[in-house]
Amino acid sequence: MSGRRPSPPDNRPEGEHEVKGLAFRDEGEGEQEAAPLVAPPPEKMMRRIGWPKLVLLPAVIAVVLLATWLWFQRADLDSISETALSNGNVWKAFKQHVQLTVISTFFVLIIAIPLGILLTRKAFRKAAPIAMTFANMGQATPAIGLLALLVIWMGIGEKPALIGIIIYAVLPVLSNTIAGLKANDPTLMEAARGIGMSSVGVLTKVELPLAVPLILAGVRTALVLNVGTATLATFGGGGGLGVLITTGITNQRMPVLLLGSILTVALALFVDWLASLAEILLSPRGLEVKS
């Protein structure tokens, strides 16, 4: 008859077992099943935008616009000022200004970003200095002089104004796109190719995401430039808030000049605020954007 002791009844907790008379418990077994599922904190799911950044600037803009409106309600305007500000002229000028900004920015993006990508490819890198020279010439030329040349060539209207704004704003987006793509670590590109990614895959999944912060910074600069340059569209018959500014200057009517200037500044600040939020939200996770 064997002298081995009968093993005690197996009433150990789940996950615990005996090895050579010693009790062991599998690490993490049992607890994982009992642990409740906890959703990741919201700040890890999306980028954190502090309340001051979210509401401070829009609140200041709203207060300034409200104060301006209240002042105009009590202001004693003469017939010239009333004619300039009545019949929906202010809203028409503001809408034209927004349209000029949006349309010109759209064309800047579809021109500058693809061109910047093309000029960083091996086959076209030698053409990059030439393209940058032309872009620098476009911005170095005084905006009013560029618009005057376009009006002489194309005639009065919105079209020459748009082309002038686009030429003036291409440089920051183009230069930032090229700089962002050139700043990428070459070892990351080699690693991506080493795991079998195609050239298009490396561009869309590695290079562009890493360059997004710099590209968005260029877009933000271009947006603010477009808002400011669009005020000159009035000299070419393109409309915009520049109509109010020039009317106030030529007729020496300070209320009209003041309203046009305040609306232009408020629009530029609001557009810059929107672009700063886009920089935070659209940049890849893990790349810190400081604005």
| pLDDT number for residue 74 | 83
| pLDDT number for residue 47 | 47
Domain boundaries, the chain: 88-282
Strand, helix or coil at 19?
strand
Which residue has tokens 């009790």?
23
pLDDT digits (tens, 9 = 90+) for 163-195: 999 998 998 999 999 998 888 888 888 888 888
| pLDDT number for residue 40 | 42
5 pLDDT above the threshold of 70: no
- Nearest to 53, CA basis, from 274, 264, 262, 217: 274
| pLDDT number for residue 273 | 93
pLDDT digits (tens, 9 = 90+) for 236-261: 888 899 999 999 999 888 889 999 99
> Could you give the CA distance from residue 189 to residue 196 in angstroms, rounded to a whole number?
11
CA angle 139, 91, 98 (to 5 degrees): 30
- Contact criterion met (CB below 8 Å) for 268 and 224: yes
Considering just the CA atoms, what is the radius of gyration of the chain in Å?
A: 31
What is the residue type of 159?
A: K
> Could you give the CA distance from residue 215 to residue 177 in angstroms, rounded to a whole number?
5
281 pLDDT above the threshold of 90: no
For 23, the enclosing helix (H) or strand (E) is strand 22-25
49 pLDDT above the threshold of 80: no
| pLDDT number for residue 10 | 53
Does 291 or 121 have the greater pLDDT score? 121
> Could you give the CA distance from residue 88 to residue 243 in angstroms, rounded to a whole number?
13
> Could you give the CA distance from residue 113 to residue 69 in angstroms, rounded to a whole number?
40
Return mean pLDDT, the chain: 81
Write down the architecture of domain 88-282 according to CATH: Orthogonal Bundle (1.10)
- Nearest to 283, CA basis, from 215, 207, 181, 223: 215
| pLDDT number for residue 291 | 46
CA angle 223, 212, 215 (to 5 degrees): 35
CA angle 175, 220, 236 (to 5 degrees): 90
| pLDDT number for residue 104 | 94
107 pLDDT above the threshold of 90: yes
Does 94 or 155 have the greater pLDDT score? 94
